[in-house]
Amino acid sequence: MKREVITTRGAPSPMAHYCQGVAAGDTVYAAGQIASDYKTGVAPEARQDPAFPYYGSNIQKQARYILQNLRGVFEAAACGLQDVVKSQVFMTDLNDFFYFDQVWKEFFPSPPPRTTVQVSNLLVPGCRVEIDLTAVKPHVARRVVSGASTPTPMAHYCQGVLVGDTLYAAGQIASDYRTGVPPEARRDPAFPHDASDIERQTRYVLANIRSVYESAGLAFGDTVKAQVFLTDLDDFVHFDRVWREFFPSPPPRTTVRVGALLVPGCRIEVDLTAVHPRVARTAIDTSDSPSPMAHYRQGLLVGDTLYAAGQLASHQASGVAAEARQDPAFPYYGSNIQKQTRYILNNLQRVLAAAGCNFADVVKSQVFMTDLNDFYPFDQVWKECFPSPPPRTTLQVSGLVVPGCRVEIDLTACRR
C-alpha cells in the first residue's frame, strides 16, 4: 500500500520520536495533538490571557489551537477536517467538556464519530486535551449511519460513518441521554445477585452498537478492532464474560482504565471498527508471543491492514514477564520501563511478521502509560525500533489490566 509521511510547518514539530501523520492509501492517520508549541510548554495562543480573564477559556483556546494544527496536517495530505471519519478525545478534566464541545462544533459542522474519556495526564504540563483524528481522501465515498434503537447523542458527534467497506463507530457508554444510566443498564435492587452493573452496562452498550452495525449492513463478526475504557479494572473479568457472548470469534482488543466517562455512573466505553466481510481477513495468533488470557486475539490482517491488539509486558504464567523486570541484583543496569517496552515491541514485531509486516509498516500508534515520568526512557527504546517513526498518541491512564505493567502499546500497520 502506497504511503507518505505528512510534515507541515502549519503544526508544531514534535519533540519526541514520532511524525505528524501518515497517508496510507486513501486513509490519513494523524498523530495525537496537544496545545503545545514544544518551545514554551502550552503555546501562548492556547493560554487564557490573565489581563482578560472573562474572555474565552483555557480549554477553548487549547481546543482551537489543536484543531487548527490538525487542519494543517490534513491539508498537507490534501484533506480537510470535513474528511475526518474517526476521532478520539482525551481530556484531563471532563468538567471542560461542554466548553470544548462548543469549539468542536465550529470546526465540524457535520461531526465525525467520537470517543471521549478522561485520562490522568498529558505529556506537557498544563495541557488539558489531546485529540486523535483519522481521515480519508475527499474522493472516498462515505455515509453517516445511525442505529435504529441507539440513543441519540447529546453532544456533537454522529454514531458512525461507513467509509467504503469500513465502519468507524462512535464510542458508546451505558446512557440513554435522558435519565443518565438507564434502568436496563442498572442492577435491579430487588434482585441484587442476579447480575452486576458492569455486565448490564456492557450488554446495553453492545446492543446499541449492534444497532449501528445493522444500519451499516454489518454484524459483530465483522469487527476488526476494539478499544475498551473501564473506570474500574475490578470490572474486567465480568465485562469479559459478556464480551464472549457477543464475540465468539474475538477481535484484537486494547483495554485500559480511565479516570471518568461523560455520564456519571457509566463504567465502560467501547470503541469499535468493523470491515465488510467481503474483504479478506486472516487471524494472527503467533506461538512465540504470549497468548491472551482474556477473550481477544493478537491481531487481524484485513486486506492489507493489520489491526494489532494492545500489548503489555505480561506473561500468563507470571504477571509481568521475567524478561521485562529489572534484575534486583543489577539495579543500575537498565530500567523497568525500558525492559517492558522492549519486551512488548519484540512481541509486536512477531505479530507484525506473521502478517507479512514490520515496524516500517506501522501507520498509527497509541501508547498508554501509567506514569509519564517513564516517557523519556520509553522514547529512547522506541527510537531503536522505529528509525522512521509513525504518528503517535501518548497518554497517562489510571491503570492497566496486569498489576506492575507500566505501558500498553497499540499499533496499526499497512502492508506495502
Q: Are 238 and 365 members of one domain? A: no
Quick check: 189 pLDDT over 80?
A: no
Instruction: Give the model's pLDDT for residue 54.
Output: 81
State the total domains in the chain: 3
Q: Are 85 and 162 members of one domain? A: no
- Average pLDDT over the chain reads 95
Q: Are 305 and 361 members of one domain? A: yes
Quick check: 192 pLDDT over 80?
A: no
Instruction: Give the model's pLDDT for residue 337.
Output: 97
Domain end, chosen from 210, 244, 279, is at 279
Q: Are 173 and 206 members of one domain? A: yes
Quick check: 121 pLDDT over 80?
A: yes
pLDDT in tens, 130-166: 999 999 999 999 999 999 999 999 999 999 999 999 9
What 3 state SS string does the chain have?
Answer: CCEEEECCCCCCCCCCCCCCEEEECCEEEECCECCECCCCCECHHHCCCCCCCCCCCHHHHHHHHHHHHHHHHHHHCCCCHHHEEEEEEEECCHHHHHHHHHHHHHHCCCCCEEEEEECCECCCCCCCEEEEEEEECCCCCEEEECCCCCCCCCCCCECEEEECCEEEECCEECCCCCCCCCHHHCCCCCCCCCCCHHHHHHHHHHHHHHHHHHHCCCCHHHEEEEEEEECCHHHHHHHHHHHHHHCCCCCCEEEEECCECCCCCCCEEEEEEEECCCCCEEEECCCCCCCCCCCCCCEEEECCEEEECCEECEECCCEECHHHCCCCCCCCCCCHHHHHHHHHHHHHHHHHHHCCCCHHHEEEEEEEECCHHHHHHHHHHHHHHCCCCCCEEEEECCEECCCCCCEEEEEEEECC
Domain end, chosen from 138, 173, 203, is at 138
Q: Are 80 and 155 members of one domain? A: no
CATH of the domain at 190: 3.30.1330.40
**Structural domain span for residue 57:** 1-138
Cα(351)–Cα(307) distance, integer angstroms: 10
Cα(34)–Cα(393) distance, integer angstroms: 10
Instruction: Tell me, yes or no, if the pTM score tops 0.75.
Output: yes
Q: Are 221 and 286 members of one domain? A: no
Domain end, chosen from 261, 279, 297, is at 279
pLDDT in tens, 300-319: 999 999 999 999 999 887 89
pLDDT tier for residue 9 given thresholds of 50, 70 and 90: confident
pLDDT in tens, 93-107: 999 999 999 999 999
Q: Are 234 and 300 members of one domain? A: no
pLDDT in tens, 328-341: 888 888 899 999 99
Q: Are 255 and 312 members of one domain? A: no
Instruction: Give the model's pLDDT for residue 190.
Output: 67
pLDDT in tens, 75-88: 999 999 999 999 99
Q: Is the dihedral of CA 274, 17, 24, 138 positive or negative?
A: positive
